[in-house]
A and B are shown apart, each in its own frame.
Chain A
Amino acid sequence: MSEGAGGAPPPAPARRWRTGPLWLALQIALSGSLLLLFVIPIVALFTYAPFHDIVSAYGDPAVREALWLTFFASGIAVLTAVVFGIPLGYVLARRKFPGRAVVESLVALPVVVPHLMVGLGLFFLVIPGTPGYRFTQAIGFPVYDTIWGVVLVMVFVSAPYTVLASELSFRAVDGRVLEAARSLGAGSATAFLTVTFPLALRGIVAGLLLSWARAVSEIGGLLILAYAVYPGGPYTGPVTSTISVLIYNLFQNGNLTEAAAVSSLFLLFAFALFLIVRLGERSGWVPWRRGELAP
């Protein structure tokens, strides 16, 4: 074959689509429909509660107490998931033991059980007159209508997400990378800290975010176990409730505008948090995406 006989070859025609236009349209239509479903109720909320209402909601001490309670209790719940949920996920991923299927089902249980049932179960365990009540009083963590009750319910409904995500993430770590590290001189604990955990971290963080989201959105169990939260423990303010219970009460009492305003306020907080985490992942300043990004 001879080349370059007629000078430069003609330029290739510009291609407008990297994928077929029909295929692209289908993707946009399907994913867009779901996104729309997510966005419309939020738009409705913000329409119903103008900006100045949101600002005044934030100025309301009762709302701020509920916000504080919700963020504090959910924070403790996430911390609990870190301390106990990640190790459980690791055990499920790496150890073989009899009754593993039972344990795995138990972990999934809080995800599938209606949360009113969760609240009811805990309620029977800790109401006054039960050994559970006396025990929680004795150790200084009374749970019925206290902040610890909120934490208990939140841990119960949210920790499984961390356990499941940790289990999957630990499983996904390539055993050969781990063996190479061991052979290079890392003991099992060092290999866990320098290889397994950093590689699983991204999935674990995703699980923790889900756990947090589940904790702050909880209402069913709280309606029964900690409908009103009395001062005690780290909470010293007047009687309050979580933000979800507060919104429910406002709605029940017909304060629709205020309910919408508080909801919008909370949405702004939650959205900001998720956005920060995602942007952090993108920019690479969080440690759990190193190696996936350039250079």
Chain B
Amino acid sequence: MTPTWVVDRVESDLDGFHLGPVGLTIPPASAVAVLGASGAGKTTLLRTLAGFVPVRRGRILRDGQDISSWLPEERNLGYVPQGLGLLPHRTVEGNVRYPLELRGAADTGARARELLDRFGLGRLARRYPTRLSGGEQQRVAIARALAASPELIVWDEPWQGLDVLARHDLGVVLEQLRETERVPVVVVTHDPGLAFSVADTFLVLSEGRVREQGDAASLLRAPSDPFAARFVGFENVFPPAELIGGTRGSLRTWLLERAGPEGIAFAAPSLPVGPGPGATWSGRVRAARPSPHGFAIELVSDDLTVHLRLPGPIVERAPALGTTIGFAIDPTSLHPLGRRVVASPEGS
């Protein structure tokens, strides 16, 4: 039976960097994405969970049992560090056998081969990790982690260095893990798009502190500040400083009137303007980039850089650069940003 993990107001320190407090519940078969820019404390959080950074305050609970002071090898969680941490002096099979050998398992060969076959690594069994592609190495790492029968997998930057196809495959693997093994997964990433593709709970860190926490809907509905808003993927994010100084009736003033104390955010409005309510503005096209969804358009209106979308199948002709076009912003799409206290700590 896979246990439920609870991170209860955990704080830790590493080389002058302070993390926390972080509160989080990780039920079986769940997936948590820890988001944040470089240096936000994502890796420190994972290493704290894995037992490499001591917990200074708070507790890590495994089905109610405090394991905060347990050694890394006692925690039975599969920690996959950045760069995967494959053993370079062991073959693919040697890597997958490693945790089995440590446990003194009798049938290491059979179990290893089963895992290798499951992840399509059978023909690579005799190779050394440095001779594999990024995606293959990724699969070795996950097969090896599973060989240890972990009760939680914590994975630092799983998508690092993967091409688009390998990224997709990895998403499928993570999905299978949750469904068939019911092993919960905590992944760290700086890419919200990838996080949304696999996780059901999100934790946005900045400078060691939890800035945002919740499921996808709550995160998208009410981001707390410009950082979080940009992070969850809002294309248009304006802190108050950028909105001040507009004339009466201008776009900046219109947005400022609707902004929260930390500014305002909205997803790229679609072009052309459809029927329905919406103020009409105009701006000069600065860039138009083709995408499978149409064109992503960047224009300047009232000194603000506004991102728009021209949806539909690939349009032959993008709006010419420098031309002025009209657009509308649906007032219901606006998200005022204001600091909320993240109701985080568990078990308090």
Is residue B226 contacting chain A, with contact meaning CB distance below 8 A? no
Is residue A184 contacting chain B, with contact meaning CB distance below 8 A? yes
B contact residues, total (Cβ < 8 Å): 37
**Bound complex: CA of A194 vs CA of B94, how far in Å?**
12
Chain A residues with Cβ below 8 Å from B126 are: 295
**Bound complex: CA of A180 vs CA of B154, how far in Å?**
11
Does the CB pair B73–A174 fall under 8 Å?
no
Contact A183:B71 (CB < 8 A) given known A176-B81, A176-B83, A177-B88: no
Is residue B325 contacting chain A, with contact meaning CB distance below 8 A? no
**Bound complex: CA of A198 vs CA of B88, how far in Å?**
10
Is residue B248 contacting chain A, with contact meaning CB distance below 8 A? no
**Bound complex: CA of A178 vs CA of B77, how far in Å?**
15
Contact A190:B102 (CB < 8 A) given known A177-B86, A290-B89: yes
Closest residue of chain B to A182 (Cβ to Cβ) is B72
Q: Which of A184, A198, A290 is the most central at the interface, judged by chain B CB atoms within 10 Å of its CB?
A: A184
Does the CB pair A295–B127 fall under 8 Å?
yes
Does the CB pair B47–A179 fall under 8 Å?
yes
CB distance from B99 to the nearest CB of A (A): 4
Is residue B103 contacting chain A, with contact meaning CB distance below 8 A? yes
Does the CB pair B79–A291 fall under 8 Å?
no
Cross-interface CB contact of A181 among B47, B77, B98, B147, cutoff 8 Å? B98
B286-311: contact bitstring with A at CB < 8 Å (1 yes, 0 no)? 00000000000000000000000000
CB distance from B127 to the nearest CB of A (A): 6
Chain A residues with Cβ below 8 Å from B119 are: none
Does the CB pair A179–B71 fall under 8 Å?
no
Is residue A186 contacting chain B, with contact meaning CB distance below 8 A? yes
**Bound complex: CA of A176 vs CA of B90, how far in Å?**
16
Chain B residues with Cβ below 8 Å from A181 are: 85, 87, 98
Does the CB pair A183–B77 fall under 8 Å?
yes
Chain B residues with Cβ below 8 Å from A186 are: 73, 102
**Bound complex: CA of A186 vs CA of B51, how far in Å?**
13
Is residue B32 contacting chain A, with contact meaning CB distance below 8 A? no
Is residue B111 contacting chain A, with contact meaning CB distance below 8 A? no
CB distance from A227 to the nearest CB of B (A): 46
Cross-interface CB contact of B50 among A179, A198, A199, cutoff 8 Å? A179
Is residue B31 contacting chain A, with contact meaning CB distance below 8 A? no
Is residue B282 contacting chain A, with contact meaning CB distance below 8 A? no
**Bound complex: CA of A176 vs CA of B130, how far in Å?**
15
Chain B residues with Cβ below 8 Å from A112 are: none
Does the CB pair A179–B72 fall under 8 Å?
yes
**Bound complex: CA of A183 vs CA of B152, how far in Å?**
11
**Bound complex: CA of A84 vs CA of B83, how far in Å?**
33
CB distance from A145 to the nearest CB of B (A): 46
Chain A residues with Cβ below 8 Å from B76 are: 185
Chain A residues with Cβ below 8 Å from B71 are: 182, 187
**Bound complex: CA of A290 vs CA of B130, how far in Å?**
11
Cross-interface CB contact of B99 among A184, A187, A294, cutoff 8 Å? A184
Name B29-67 residues within 8 Å CB distance of A: 47, 50-52
Is residue A292 contacting chain B, with contact meaning CB distance below 8 A? yes
A254-295: contact bitstring with B at CB < 8 Å (1 yes, 0 no)? 000000000000000000000000000000000000111111
Does the CB pair B83–A174 fall under 8 Å?
yes
**Bound complex: CA of A180 vs CA of B71, how far in Å?**
13
Is residue B128 contacting chain A, with contact meaning CB distance below 8 A? yes
Closest residue of chain A to B43 (Cβ to Cβ) is A176
Is residue A111 contacting chain B, with contact meaning CB distance below 8 A? no
Since A185-B99, A185-B102, A186-B73 are in contact, a sample of 14 more A-B pairs with Cβ atoms closer than 8 Å, ordered by chain A residue number, is: A174-B85, A176-B82, A177-B86, A179-B85, A180-B84, A181-B85, A183-B72, A186-B102, A290-B128, A291-B89, A291-B90, A292-B130, A293-B128, A295-B131
A-B CB contact pairs (8 Å), 7 listed: A177-B88, A180-B86, A183-B73, A184-B78, A184-B99, A290-B90, A291-B89
Closest 4 CB pairs of A and B: A180-B85, A183-B79, A176-B81, A184-B99
